[in-house]
Chains A and B, each alone.
Chain A
Amino acid sequence: MSDKTIRAGIDRRHLLTLGGGMAVAGALAACGGNTGRSSSTSAAGSGSGSGSASGGGAKVTLQQWYHQYGEAGTQQAVEGYAKAYTAADVKVTWKPGDYDQTTAASLLTAGGPDVFEYGNGPTIDMIKGGQVVDLSGLLGDAESDFNPAMVKRMTYDGKLWAIPQVVDMQLLVYRKSLLEKAGVTPPETIDDLMAAAKKLTSGDVKGLFLGNDGGVGLMGAPMLFSAGADYLNEDGSFGFDSDGAAAALGKLRELFTSDSLLLGAPKDWYDASALTSGLTAMQFTGLWTFPDLTKGLADDYGCIPWPAMPGGAKSVVVGAYGSCVSAKSTNVDAAKEFVKWLWVDQTDKQLDFATAYGFHIPARASLVPQAKTLQSGPAKDAAAYAQEFGHAQSSVLWTPKCATAFGDMMSKIVKDGADVKAEIAKVKAVAEAEVKRVLG
Chain B
Amino acid sequence: MTTTPANVEVSAAAAAPTRPPLGARLRGRQNQNLWFWVFVGPFVLGLIIFIYIPILWSIYLSFFESYNTVTPTKFVGIGNYLDMLKDESFRSSLGTFIVFALFIVPTTFALSLLTAILVARTRVMQAFFRSVFFLPTACSYVVAALIWKMSIFSGVRSGAANALLGLIGLDSIPWLSVTKPPWYWLVIVSARLWLQVGFYMILFLAALQRISPTLYEAAAIDGASAWQSFRYITLPQLRPTSAAVLLLLLINAFQAFDEFYNILSSFGTYPPYARPPLVYLYYVALGQGQDFGHGSAGAVILTLVILIAALVFNRFFSFRGDD
Contacts and interface: CB of A to CB of B under 8 A. Distances in A.
B289 A214 contact: no
A123 B282 CA distance: 18
B264 A214 contact: no
Interface in A20-57: 20-22
Contact of B272 (A104, A403, A411): A411
Contact of B288 (A16, A123, A412, A416): A123
- At the interface, is chain B mostly helix, strand, loop or mixed? loop
B179 A104 contact: no
B181 to A, nearest CB: 12
A403 B288 CA distance: 10
Interface stretch (B45-53, B168-176, B213-221, B224-232): B168-176
A212 B67 contact: no
Nearest to A417: B180
B180 A264 contact: no
B89 A408 contact: yes
Contact of B149 (A15, A16, A126, A204): A15
A390 to B, nearest CB: 21
A394 B89 CA distance: 23
Interface string B251-273: 00000011001111111111111
A296 interface: no
Nearest to A22: B286
Interface string B272-307: 110000000011101111110000000000000000
A407 to B, nearest CB: 4
A15 B145 contact: yes
A264 B288 contact: no
A125 B177 contact: no
- At the interface, is chain A mostly helix, strand, loop or mixed? loop
Contacts of A412: 272
Contact of B267 (A105, A125, A217, A263): A217
A1 B262 CA distance: 17
Contacts of A15: 142, 145-146, 149, 262
B268 A212 contact: no
A14 B265 contact: yes
Interface string A125-158: 1101101000000000000000000000000000
B84 interface: no
A400 B177 contact: no
Nearest to B279: A19
Nearest to B290: A104
A271 interface: no
Contact of B271 (A22, A213, A400): A213
- From A8, A212, A400, name the one whose CB has the most chain B CB atoms within 10 angstroms: A400
Chain B interface size range: 35 or more
A401 interface: yes
B154 interface: yes
Contacts of B290: 104-105, 123, 125, 400
Contacts of A403: 269, 288
B157 interface: yes
B90 to A, nearest CB: 11
A107 interface: yes
Given A8-B267, A212-B177, A131 B272 contact: no
A221 to B, nearest CB: 12
B141 interface: yes
A72 interface: no
Contacts of A416: 179-180, 273
20 contacts: A4-B268, A14-B149, A15-B146, A18-B142, A100-B268, A211-B266, A262-B155, A265-B154, A400-B291, A404-B283, A407-B270, A408-B272, A411-B179, A411-B272, A412-B272, A415-B177, A415-B178, A415-B180, A415-B273, A416-B180
Interface of B: 67-70, 89, 141-142, 145-146, 149-150, 153-159, 172, 174-180, 257-258, 261-273, 282-284, 286-291
Given A108-B68, A411-B272, 7 more contacts: A3-B288, A14-B266, A21-B286, A264-B159, A400-B288, A404-B284, A416-B273
In the A-B complex, the 10 residue pairs with the smallest Cβ-Cβ separation, listed nearest first, are A264-B155, A263-B174, A263-B177, A408-B272, A400-B288, A400-B289, A12-B268, A264-B174, A407-B269, A129-B68
